[in-house]
């Protein structure tokens, strides 16, 4: 007993010494990204291009969510040589590990900071589109929610590809299970405990979150234990599962790459910005990448493959820079056409979101986390998190919520609500999160319900801004270009308002701040939606898979780029339609399945 007590005391003393540094790290911002393009590649750097010493069996372009999975699985193969190229740096950072610190990662050094350009359907606003820039990719900056979507989503995948044996619900479920180590659902045919991706509940429940669940039940919405149980409807409310381990964010770099990096056959290059895939005689031969002021060519072995895992914005961008895309667009930028694939950069899908927020008594996340009037973490909460992995620092903010049908005849829910025990000063929920992370005041007392169109019909595009690979592509979210999405969000706001007005909040929730009581008819609600819509950070579809004779398909059902040998795309860009839920888990599943396809 004495020894055990001494160990606990020692841990407490060490943790105590770290609290001040921890609190300081939480208050400070990581280096912010300017959002400006990188330096132009000049002739001097072109002249300095050199070739890596060896050819690789697999060159993985992007060390993000799917790239880390492939790096692990492909390097398990004896005799293979695997190279990972990641444009960002390490993700070994305190703020990435602390779930509540997610608000400090937007517009930081870990974010590409993409923005669209004054979209007419969004009141001529630029739409901020965060994408992770570090080993682990967007799994480093997302809100960690573990959702697979509805089984009907994968019926649509199998229909779009004509490959039921690959992409039907029964075909993808084993790979969802293979990936996860689920600490919550231990006796379910839909889950597994032996995988690498840790899934758990947030180890904290705010009183307002519990009241939210009561309010939903009072209105007749069923409480669900598992939104990923495909034997039931996705409809209902409850606690969302998250990709955490011992109260820490569990990125794909932590789960798949950390131990794999010890293998002698795996090389990982960071700060390595891919600029082109070279193709000769219809076969992908190498990847040219910029690292510092040098250009490097990484060659692939004759029977090897180049695997694009750069994400739904940068995979199509790199294809176009390499001469693979719509020939008309390539010719506009004087890029020689290697393969005319009109679908590259099209079919961009995302989850548009708006917010309903009310003032409330100071019993929410702000009260639990911070010293009053600051965003300085309470020392006891820092100690609790450091020693036990529990408490409000494990909260992602939106770890309670539900899925809803805004019309009774829908086959699947069209709206997700995320409940947050706090509010910001901005009705653009993503801007509010960013402001909270950069301010001295933390969350304001209140509640927020983020209303998300999870099966939106609008589509956007990724296009070239120039032929310079260091210029960001031109992205258009396409939000609200289909009027059905506006109606969906209107109806979602009505559901959110019903819940927020419930007696279950025991008088602790007060007046509506956003949209505000003056927003009470169709015209004003549409204006509110168009002027505040933002992303729920789930971009997919820009290199979509389909039948080989589909003129808009970019990759075939085995994820091979149509018309180019030795080149595949393995990330969320290949999804033909967006799953109804956050897309991190489907992206990991897709990479697990791709690894088997590649090594077959």
What pLDDT score was predicted for residue 40? Answer: 37
At residue 201, the pLDDT reads 98
The pLDDT value recorded for residue 7 is 47
pLDDT tens-digit readout, 5-32:
444 544 554 455 555 555 555 555 666 5
Q: Which pLDDT score, from 0 to 100, does residue 34 have?
A: 46
Q: What pLDDT is recorded for position 1?
A: 42
In the prediction, which pLDDT does 48 show? Answer: 54
Mean pLDDT of 366-389: 91
Mean pLDDT, residues 182-186 taken together: 96
- Residue 597 confidence (pLDDT): 99
Q: How confident is the model at residue 589 (pLDDT cuts 50, 70, 90)?
A: very high
Grouping H, G, I as helix, E, B as strand and the rest as coil, residue 569 is strand
pLDDT at 42 over 50: no
- Sorted by sequence, the CB contacts under 8 Å of residue 143 that are 6+ apart come out as 102, 396, 397, 398, 537, 582
**What confidence tens digit (pLDDT) does each residue in 142-157 have?**
999 999 999 999 999 9
Q: Is 66 annotated as a binding residue?
A: yes
Q: Is the pLDDT of residue 516 over 60?
A: yes
Residues in the chain: 600
- 138 is annotated as contributing to ligand binding: no
pLDDT average, residue stretch 558-573:
99
pLDDT for 53 equals: 56
pLDDT in tens, 205-248: 999 999 999 999 999 999 999 999 999 999 999 999 999 999 99
Q: Is 546 helix (H, G, I), strand (E, B) or coil?
A: coil
Tell me the CATH class for 56-599: alpha beta
pLDDT at residue 47 tops 60: no
User: Could you give the dihedral angle defined by the CA atoms of residues 566, 163, 583 and 125, in that order, rounded to the nearest 10 degrees?
Assistant: 80
Domain boundaries, the chain: 56-599
pLDDT value of residue 49 = 58
Record the pTM.
Answer: 0.94
Structure-token pair, residue 212: 């939210």
Residue 165 CA, chain-centre distance (Å), reads: 27
pLDDT of residue 405 exceeding 50, the answer is yes
Considering the chain, what percentage of its residues have pLDDT values greater than 90?
Answer: 86
Confidence of residue 577 (pLDDT cuts 50, 70, 90): very high
Give tens-digit pLDDT for 449-498. Answer: 999 999 999 999 999 999 999 999 999 999 999 999 999 999 999 999 99
Closest listed residue to residue 476, CA positions, set 121, 131, 132: 121
CB atoms within 10 A of CB 34: 8
More confident residue, 279 or 429: 279
Distance of CA 370 to the CA centre of its chain: 27
Helices (H), 151-273: 151-161, 164-167, 169-179, 207-218, 252
For 75-114, the pLDDT digits (tens) are 999 999 999 999 999 999 999 999 999 999 999 999 999 9
Report percent pLDDT > 70 for the chain: 91
Question: Looking at residue 350, what is its pLDDT?
Answer: 99
Return the higher-pLDDT residue of 30 and 370.
370
């Amino acid at each position: 007993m004495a020894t055990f007590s001494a160990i606990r005391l020692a841990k407490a003393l060490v943790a105590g010494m770290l609290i001040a540094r921890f609190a300081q790290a939480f208050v400070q911002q990581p280096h912010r990204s300017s959002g400006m393009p990188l330096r132009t590649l000049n002739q001097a750097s072109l002249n300095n291009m050199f070739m890596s010493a060896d050819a690789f069996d697999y060159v993985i372009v992007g060390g993000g969510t799917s790239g880390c999975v492939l790096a692990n699985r492909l390097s398990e193969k004896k005799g293979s040589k695997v190279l990972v190229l990641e444009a960002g740096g390490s993700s070994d950072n305190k703020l990435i590990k602390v779930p509540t610190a997610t608000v400090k990662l937007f517009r930081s050094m870990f974010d590409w900071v993409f923005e669209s350009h004054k979209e007419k359907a969004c009141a001529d606003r630029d739409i901020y589109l965060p994408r992770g820039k570090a080993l682990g990719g967007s799994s480093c900056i997302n809100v960690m929610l573990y959702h697979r979507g509805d089984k009907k989503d994968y019926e649509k995948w199998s229909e779009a590809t004509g490959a039921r044996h690959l992409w039907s619900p029964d075909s993808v479920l084993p790979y969802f299970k293979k990936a996860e180590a689920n600490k919550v659902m231990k006796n379910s045919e839909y889950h597994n405990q032996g995988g690498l991706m840790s899934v758990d509940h947030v180890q904290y429940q705010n009183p307002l979150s519990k009241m939210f669940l009561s309010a939903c039940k009072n209105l007749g919405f069923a409480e669900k234990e598992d939104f990923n149980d495909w034997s039931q409807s996705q409809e209902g409310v409850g606690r969302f599962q998250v990709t955490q381990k011992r109260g820490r964010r569990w990125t794909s770099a932590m789960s798949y790459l950390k131990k794999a990096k010890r293998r002698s056959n795996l090389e990982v290059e960071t700060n390595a910005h891919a600029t082109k895939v070279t193709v000769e005689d219809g076969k992908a031969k190498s990847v040219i990448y910029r690292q510092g002021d040098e250009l490097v060519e990484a060659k692939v072995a004759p029977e090897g493959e180049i695997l694009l895992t750069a994400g739904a914005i940068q995979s199509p961008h790199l294809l176009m820079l390499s001469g693979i895309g719509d020939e008309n667009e390539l010719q506009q930028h004087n890029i020689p056409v290697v393969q005319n694939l009109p679908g590259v950069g099209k079919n961009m899908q995302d989850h548009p979101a708006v917010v309903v927020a009310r003032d409330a008594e100071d019993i929410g996340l702000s009260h639990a986390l911070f010293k009053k009037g600051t965003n300085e973490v309470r020392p006891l909460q820092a100690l609790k998190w450091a020693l036990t992995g529990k408490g409000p620092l494990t909260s992602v903010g939106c770890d309670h919520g539900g899925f809803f049908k805004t019309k009774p005849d829908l086959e699947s829910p069209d709206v997700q609500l995320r409940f947050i025990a706090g509010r910001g000063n901005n009705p653009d929920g993503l801007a509010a999160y960013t402001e909270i992370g950069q301010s001295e005041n933390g969350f304001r007392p209140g509640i927020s319900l983020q209303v998300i169109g999870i099966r939106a019909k609008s589509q956007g595009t990724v296009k070239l801004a120039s032929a310079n690979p260091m210029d960001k592509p031109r992205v258009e979210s396409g939000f609200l270009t289909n009027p059905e999405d506006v109606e969906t969000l209107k109806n979602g706001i009505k559901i959110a308002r019903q819940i927020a007005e419930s007696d279950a909040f025991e008088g602790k929730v007060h007046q509506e701040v956003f949209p505000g009581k003056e927003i009470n008819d169709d015209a004003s609600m549409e204006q509110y939606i168009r002027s505040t819509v933002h992303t729920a950070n789930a971009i997919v579809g820009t290199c979509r898979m389909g039948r080989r004779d589909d003129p808009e398909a970019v990759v075939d059902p085995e994820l091979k780029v149509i018309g180019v040998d030795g080149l595949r795309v393995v990330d969320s860009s290949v999804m033909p339609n967006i799953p109804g839920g956050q897309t991190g888990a489907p992206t990991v599943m897709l990479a697990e399945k791709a690894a088997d396809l590649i090594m077959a």
